[in-house]
A and B are shown apart, each in its own frame.
Chain A
Amino acid sequence: MQRILIPILLAGSAAAGAATPQQLMQDYTEQAVRQAPGYQPSARRGAELYSRRFAVSEKMPACTACHTDAPAQAGRHVVTGKAIKPLAPRAEAARFTDPAKTEKWFRRNCTEVLGRECSAAEKADFILFLTEGL
Chain B
Amino acid sequence: MNPAKRSLLLLAALALPAWADRLPIPADAPPAFQTECGGCHLPFPPALLTAPDWKRVMGKLDKHYGDNASLDEKTRRELEDFLVRNASTRSRMAGEGDPPRLTASAWFRREHRKVPQALWRDARVNSASNCSACHSRAGQGSYRGREIALPELRDKH
Q: Which A residues fall within an 8 A CB radius of B?
A: 59, 76-77, 79-82, 101, 108, 111-112
| Complex alpha-carbon distance, A112 and B63, angstroms | 11
> In the bound complex, do residue A111 and residue B127 qualify as a contact, i.e. CB atoms below 8 Å apart?
no
Q: Give 1 or 0 for each of B51-76: 1 = CB within 8 Å of chain A CB.
A: 00000000000000111111000000
Could you say which residues of chain A place their CB within 8 Å of the CB of B69? 108
| Complex alpha-carbon distance, A112 and B35, angstroms | 19
> In the bound complex, do residue B68 and residue A81 qualify as a contact, i.e. CB atoms below 8 Å apart?
no
Could you say which residues of chain A place their CB within 8 Å of the CB of B40? 77, 79-80, 82
19 more contacts with CB within 8 A, not counting A81-B127, A82-B40, A82-B42, are: A59-B66, A76-B126, A79-B65, A79-B66, A79-B127, A80-B40, A80-B126, A80-B127, A81-B129, A81-B130, A81-B133, A82-B41, A82-B130, A82-B132, A101-B35, A108-B68, A108-B70, A112-B67, A112-B68
A-B contact pairs, 10 of them (CB 8 A): A77-B40, A79-B40, A80-B127, A80-B129, A81-B126, A81-B129, A81-B133, A82-B132, A108-B69, A112-B67
A109 CB to nearest B CB, Å: 9
B125 in the interface (beta carbon within 8 A): yes
Could you say which residues of chain A place their CB within 8 Å of the CB of B133? 81
B48 CB to nearest A CB, Å: 15
Interface of A is mostly: loop
Q: How large is the interface on B (under 10, 10 to 19, 20 to 34, 35 or more residues)?
A: 10 to 19
Chain A residue with Cβ nearest B39: A105
Q: Which B residues fall within an 8 A CB radius of A?
A: 35, 40-42, 65-70, 125-127, 129-130, 132-133
B64 CB to nearest A CB, Å: 10
Could you say which residues of chain B place their CB within 8 Å of the CB of A79? 40, 65-67, 127
B139 CB to nearest A CB, Å: 10
B37 CB to nearest A CB, Å: 11
> In the bound complex, do residue A77 and residue B41 qualify as a contact, i.e. CB atoms below 8 Å apart?
yes
Could you say which residues of chain B place their CB within 8 Å of the CB of A59? 66
B16 CB to nearest A CB, Å: 29
A12 CB to nearest B CB, Å: 22
Could you say which residues of chain A place their CB within 8 Å of the CB of B125? 81
> In the bound complex, do residue A111 and residue B68 qualify as a contact, i.e. CB atoms below 8 Å apart?
yes
A3 CB to nearest B CB, Å: 36
